[in-house]
Every structure is written in structure tokens, then in C-alpha cells.
Amino acid sequence: MALFREAIQDVVPLRHDRTEPFRRRRRPEPAAPGPAPRGEAREELPADMAVETPEELLFMRPGVQQRVVRELRRGRIPPADCLDLHGLRVKQARPVFARFLRQARQRHLRCVRIIHGKGRDPSGTQPVLKQKTHQWLLQRPEVLAFCSAPRFDGGTGATYVLLSRKKANSTPST
């Protein structure tokens, strides 16, 4: 013990007043709208009604592991396909969006990227396609989680979407 005390006699304790206290991140509130009829999204809000869209998007359904969403946010689950909605109006974008998600699911894709951009409405307050994409994704039961893409892959102008695995139809063997 004397040898240890001799070895640490010149050690100066660190000052603790310069460290930041650990802060827990707030968990995203799960929002689970009812399923849309026949797997299609429905328009629940009037087209002219604004939906407040935060700069960074984050959503996960109950039961989705936070670890998976963390990997999605960091870009460690690479998107298998990408949809670019740039230059489309909302009326044009909606069917393209629905078809893309339907085809992604049929192809058993786990993660896709949707580029909506940051184009604002005429008043300059809300990103139009980003706001609608957010709304449409919340209405799709096959969407397990989504978040803004990492900065290297579009940042807040794109969204990573985690899709549920399509259940194979069980066919009786004869």
C-alpha cells in the first residue's frame, strides 16, 4: 500500500465543475393512427390544413426497439431504394409515394429513403412535401419507424423509412 501512495502522491484531482451533467434524451411519442383501408393511406386532414413539422423527424411505432431506430438515424441501416419527390406538387407526389411504398414492400425492402426537400409553402413557414410526407408516413401501417436522414444522405431534406417485413401467405401443402 505504501508503494501505491508513493506512486500517486503528485496526482491532482480533476475539477468536476467543468463537466456537463448527463441528460437523457426525450423519447419520441408513439403515434399510432388506425390502419388505412386495403393497405392504402387515407387523407385524414384537409389539404389546406397545415401540420406542424419539426426540423428533424423521428417516429417509431410501439414495439420497435430503440436500438433499431438509433441505427436507422445513424445511417447504419442502408436504404435499399430511394424516391425523389423534388419538383412534384402534392397532388402528383401522393400517388407516386403510395406506389413506391407498395412496391418496396412487395420487393421485401427493409429500409427506403424518401427525398422531399425543404421547399416551403408560399407563406414561407412550412416545408410542403416534408410536411405531407410526414403525414402520409404516419398513416401507413407498414411503416414501423422513420427519421430524418443522416447529414451525409440528405439530412432534414430526406427521410429514412423502416418498413415491416411482408408476411408471406401461408399455403397449405398437399
Query: Which among 109, 111, 115, 110 is positioned nearest to 97, based on CA atoms?
Result: 115
**Per-residue pLDDT reduced to its tens digit, 17-37:** 555 555 555 555 555 454 544
Whether the pTM exceeds 0.75: the reply is no
Per mean pLDDT, which of 13-17, 46-50, 112-116 is the most reliable? 112-116
Helical (H) or strand (E) element with 145? strand 143-148
Cβ neighbours around 75 below 10 Å, total: 17
Q: What are phi and psi of 52, to 5 degrees?
A: -65, 120
Q: Do 75 and 153 contact (CB within 8 A), yes or no?
A: yes
- Which tens digit of pLDDT belongs to each residue from 95-151? 999 999 999 999 999 999 999 887 766 655 566 788 899 999 999 999 999 999 999
SS3 157: helix
Side chain identity at residue 40, one-letter code: E
CATH number of 53-165: 3.30.1370.110
